């Protein structure tokens, strides 16, 4: 479900997905018999393609095969944008457009994130986010532009039929937390209006 344009920079490809506000950043990796090196983040490149974002919190999790975390978001005024990647292993990462009135409302982008290509996915405010571990285990990391606020933590059901997400694993092997198993339906979310959560309004360009 990835489609769109690709912008080539010296050390990074920027791929516009089927939902243009969701971007894939794929670094150029330099490797030899000693190991590898790559630039995982550049503020100037990021602002060129997204706008001004100030990250304030980094998170990391470790999960086993079949573990699904999501689909999560934070309610206003503590909404979060995330730049996510797999430090180890392989995950299927999913972003769902929650913005009422959006041309892509209810649609999603799914992207394989792994240690082979070292891709990162930009998930803006107004989207629910989740990932499923496809490898034996995975270490997952993400940068956030707002702090985690338990009182505004929210989510939608990972297997809501209206979303039609192909998680690429049979349901019987997928493991979710008790909280995620009881998340509400996608249709219950009316928190985000497209006009208030358009990319150009959220992330001004300098």
The residue ranges of DSSP E strands in the chain, in sequence order, are 6-8, 12-16, 23-27, 30-32, 35-37, 57-64, 68-74, 82-88, 90-97, 108-114, 120-123, 127-133, 137-144, 153-155
Tell whether 157 is in a known binding site.
no
Tell whether 118 is in a known binding site.
no
Residues 6+ apart with CB under 8 A from 53: 46, 47, 81, 145, 203
The Cα 102–Cα 126 span in angstroms is 10
Tell whether 34 is in a known binding site.
yes
Tell whether 175 is in a known binding site.
yes
72 is catalytic: yes
Task: Tell me which of 65, 142, 148, 152 is the catalytic residue.
Answer: 142
Tell whether 57 is in a known binding site.
yes
142 is catalytic: yes
Tell whether 198 is in a known binding site.
no
Bridge partners, 45 (sequence order) = none
Task: Tell me which of 72, 148, 194, 203 is the catalytic residue.
Answer: 72
Hey, which residues are catalytic here? 72, 142
Q: Binding site, residues?
A: 34, 39, 57-59, 69, 82, 129, 153, 175
Q: Binding site for substrate, residues?
A: 34, 39, 57-59, 69, 82, 129, 153, 175
């Amino acid at each position: 479900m990835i489609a769109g344009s690709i912008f080539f920079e010296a050390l990074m490809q920027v791929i516009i997905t089927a939902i243009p506000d969701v971007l894939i950043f794929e670094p150029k990796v330099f490797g030899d018999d000693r190991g590898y090196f790559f630039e995982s983040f550049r503020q100037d490149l990021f602002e060129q393609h997204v706008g001004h974002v100030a990250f304030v919190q980094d998170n990391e999790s470790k999960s086993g095969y079949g573990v699904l975390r999501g689909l999560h978001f934070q309610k206003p005024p503590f909404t979060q944008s995330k730049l996510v990647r797999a430090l180890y292993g392989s995950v299927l990462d999913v972003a769902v457009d929650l913005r009422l009135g959006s041309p892509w409302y209810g649609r999603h982008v799914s992207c394989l994130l792994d240690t082979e290509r070292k891709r990162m996915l930009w998930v803006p405010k107004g989207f629910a986010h989740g990932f499923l571990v496809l490898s034996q285990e995975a270490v997952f990391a993400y940068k956030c532009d707002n702090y985690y606020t338990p009182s505004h933590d929210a989510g939608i059901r990972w297997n809501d039929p209206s979303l039609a997400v192909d998680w690429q694993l049979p349901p019987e092997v997928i493991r979710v937390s008790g909280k995620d198993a009881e998340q509400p339906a996608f249709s219950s979310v009316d928190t985000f209006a497209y006009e208030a959560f358009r990319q150009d309004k959220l992330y001004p360009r300098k």
